[in-house]
Amino acid sequence: LRSLVIVLGDQLDHDAAAFDDFDAAQDAVWMAEVAEESEHVWSSKPRIAMFLSAMRHFAAELRARGVTVHYTRLDDAGNAGSLAGELAAAIVRLRPAQLVMTAPGDYRVWQSIKRVAREQDRPLDVRDDRHFYATVRDFAAHAKGRKQLRLEYFYRELREKHGVLMRDGKPAGGQWNFDADNRQDFGKDGPGRHFPGPDFVPDAITRDVIALIESRFAAHPGSLQSFAWPVTRDQALEALQRFIDERLPKFGPYQDAMWKGEPWLYHSLLAAALNLKLLNPREVVAAAERAYEQGHAPLESVEGFIRQIIGWREYVRGIYWTRMPDYLESNALNATEPLPAWYWTGDTDMACLRDAITQTLTHGYAHHIQRLMVTGLYPLLLGVAPRQVHEWYLAVYVDAVEWVELPNVLGMSQYADGGLMASKPYVATGKYIERMGHYCKGCRYKPALKTGEQACPFTTLYWDFLMRHEALLSRNQRMALQVKNLARLSDEERAAIRAQATAIRASSSAPS
Ligand code: FAD
Ligand code: SF4
């Protein structure tokens, strides 16, 4: 065997660099399902199903093309249980002259594969991941010498370089950013319609995977009853087309809106397909750009969407790979509380959190503003250890892969990197959640109240957060207004907020 090409669960791309010189007569592919990848964090059933089903479909496609695939199934006898163990066994068995792979997305996996190659004394040819617009080297060059990193500049650089939404060297529509048009809520009457979610009926391969997970990972969180994610490239392309046709035109204005019982809204639902590499971001961006050119979708929606893909998605990858492994330990606010146990069940009286967590466990999905301003905001205000918040996010979402999850959780939502990723902590009271999502009507708490039996825990903890971090936050200009409002609180109010926050913490850490 000349080359053994390693294909990980988030590398399901027939055009990946690892296949550039692939010769079916001399080379073979190696893939493995191992328990470690579902257990190193307590992965939800939908997330495990997404990966295993997509991997099995990809292996079947390769075989149909005449490629030899050495594939270990989770329930194969003698499965070593870890990528390192399975890879080492395959090298001993197959004796390839070299190992080839596309650069992995996960630092931990990267370290373990390098170690196996070293121990087995095999050359490892690691190739750039062309899936992304920017290499990590591009990002490092952009970041070099800058005191502060900001998405906006990196995003503009990439749009110019790749000619995306550009007209004669200028941004289409004369401005780079349409955020001001893109912050609408649904008003008190709501979105006025119901939004369907993904509806790809599980085929025999997916049904096998579901049965395996139900027996092997029975105690893991989440449910598989409504699993309907795209697990093949063809399905992912269909999902892309459906998004462009049906939801992109209103994506922009409502990208920050929430509505009770409506998990999907105008979002694309494409993150898992992108992160597993079933879709290429260039084709996604091109489809959105085409919709603008054809007058199907307005510029603010198309720019708002493209900013997520060329902007945030590339930016967080750069942060991850230039900051690991130390980034994982970031804890700028010295937060040490445990994550409430009900994060794994959704069993809480807080209507917004109950809704967001329940849909997360049911579908492996929540949209951005739920992740940031509901499930992310609460542990930030409570003071939960960022590592525990990270482990929850990595476990529960079908699109969760560490390079994208970690900077979003530690940096953007928990401010654990001290402002590298976000220019200020995203903190708000329950009134923000009321305005953006209208959850509060059905809740036993009142978002305007800071103290007392009916006080919204978000609101109590918001004021407590400002008090606890007053010195740090008052040095941040973007927080000046929020910190200034603290001065309006009397000593008695401060003491009452503190006492109530302490009680919330005590009850949150109690076993449920
Ligand atoms: P849409 O709202 O339709 O957005 C379009 C696409 O843009 C997404 O599919 C995604 O590929 C990209 N995108 C949007 N926002 C971001 C962002 N902030 N960073 C990187 N890419 C972005 N995204 C993940 O892919 N995996 C994660 O594990 C993940 N964890 C997150 C954790 C927290 C605390 C937060 C605040 C955000 C997280 N995100 C993550 C980013 C974002 O919330 C999801 O990409 C998005 O909600 C996925 O749904 P969608 O495909 O419908 O996205
Ligand atoms: Fe959430 Fe507070 Fe509103 Fe209840 S009152 S839904 S806890 S924001």
Ligand 1 centroid from CA 309, angstroms: 9
- What single string gives the DSSP state of each residue in 78-97? T--SSHHHHHHHHHHHH--S
**CA distance from start to end of the chain:** 54
∠ at Cα 103 (45, 198), nearest 5°? 35
Output the pLDDT for position 145: 84
Residue with CA nearest ligand 2 atom 8: 430
Mean pLDDT across 206-210: 98
Contacts of 483 (CB under 8 A, 6+ apart): 466, 470, 473, 474
* Ligand 2 centroid, distance to 109 Cα (angstroms): 39
Residue 510's pLDDT band, with cuts at 50, 70 and 90, is low
Which residue has a Cα nearest atom 10 of ligand 1? 271
Pocket of ligand 2 (CB under 6 A): 350-352, 430, 433-434, 439-440, 443, 445, 447, 456-458
Residues with CB under 6 A from ligand 1: 267-271, 274-275, 308-309, 312-313, 316, 367-368, 371-372, 376, 393, 397, 399-400, 404-405, 408-409, 412-413
* Predicted local distance difference test score (pLDDT) of residue 445: 97
Task: Please write the tens of the pLDDT for every residue from 432-468.
Answer: 999 888 899 989 999 999 999 999 999 999 999 999 9
Distance from the alpha carbon of residue 381 to the mean position of ligand 2, in angstroms: 14
Centre of ligand 2 from the C-alpha of residue 476, in Å: 27
For residue 410, report the distance from its CA to the centre of ligand 1, in Å.
14
Q: What is the pLDDT of residues 189-204, one digit of tens each?
A: 899 999 999 999 999 9
Which tens digits make up the pLDDT trace of 146-157?
Answer: 877 889 999 999
Task: Output the pLDDT for position 43.
Answer: 97
Ligand 2 centre distance from Cα of residue 331 (Å):
27
Tokens of residue 36, six digits: 């470690």
Closest C-alpha residue for ligand 1 atom 36: 372
Which residues, 6+ apart, have CB-to-CB distance to 372 below 8 Å? Answer: 412, 413, 426
Query: Distance, CA 190 to ligand 2 centroid (Å)?
Result: 17
Q: What is the pLDDT of residues 228-285, one digit of tens each?
A: 999 999 999 999 999 999 999 999 999 999 999 999 999 999 999 999 999 999 999 9
Closest approach atom of ligand 2 to CA 442 = 6
Say how far apart CA 508 and CA 339 lie, in whole Å: 8
Q: How far is the CA of 448 from the centre of ligand 2 (A)?
A: 9
Residue 429 CA: nearest ligand 2 atom is 8
pLDDT at 395: 98
Contact criterion met (CB below 8 Å) for 276 and 379: no
Residue nearest to ligand 1 atom 13, measured at CA: 308
Ligand 2 centroid vs 510 CA: distance in angstroms?
Answer: 21
Nearest CA to ligand 1 atom 38: 408
Q: Which of 160, 163, 152, 159 lies closest to 310 in space, CA to CA? A: 159
Ligand showing the shortest atom-to-Cα distance for residue 375 = 1
How far are the Cα atoms of 183, 388, 425 from residue 273, in angstroms, in the given order? 26, 26, 30
Ligand nearest to the CA of 441: 2
Query: Average pLDDT over the chain, rounded to whole?
Result: 95
Q: How far is CA 235 from CA 11, 31, 85, 183, in A?
A: 17, 22, 33, 31
From 24-28, 216-220, 319-323, 482-486, the region with the lowest mean pLDDT:
482-486
Residue nearest to atom 3 of ligand 2 (CA): 440
Q: What is the pLDDT of residue 415?
A: 97
The predicted-structure confidence for 88-110, as pLDDT tens digits, reads as follows 999 999 999 999 999 999 999 99
Ligand 1 centroid, distance to 346 Cα (angstroms): 21
> What is the spatial distance between Cα 175 and Cα 10, in angstroms, rounded to a whole number?
35
Atom of ligand 1 nearest to the CA of 397: 28
Higher pLDDT, 437 or 6: 6
pLDDT in tens, 333-352: 999 999 999 999 999 999 99
Q: Which domains are present in the chain?
A: 3-127 (3.40.50.620), 136-195+247-323 (1.25.40.80), 341-509 (1.10.579.10)
| 388: nearest Cα among 347, 320, 329, 333 | 329
Pairing of strands 124-127, 98-102: parallel
Give the per-residue pLDDT at 512.
47
In percent, the amount of the chain with pLDDT more than 90 equals 92
* Residue 18 per-residue DSSP state: G
- What's the pLDDT tens digit per position in 115-141? 999 999 999 999 999 999 999 999 999
**CA distance to 114, 401, 473, per residue, from 103 (Å):** 11, 14, 38
260, 382, 458, 508: which to mutate for ligand 2, most atoms within 8 A of CB? 458
Tokens representing residue 374 in the block: 């509901």
Q: Which two tokens stand for residue 195?
A: 């939004």
Rounded CA separation 485/481 (Å): 7
Q: Which atom of ligand 2 is nearest to the CA of 458?
A: 2
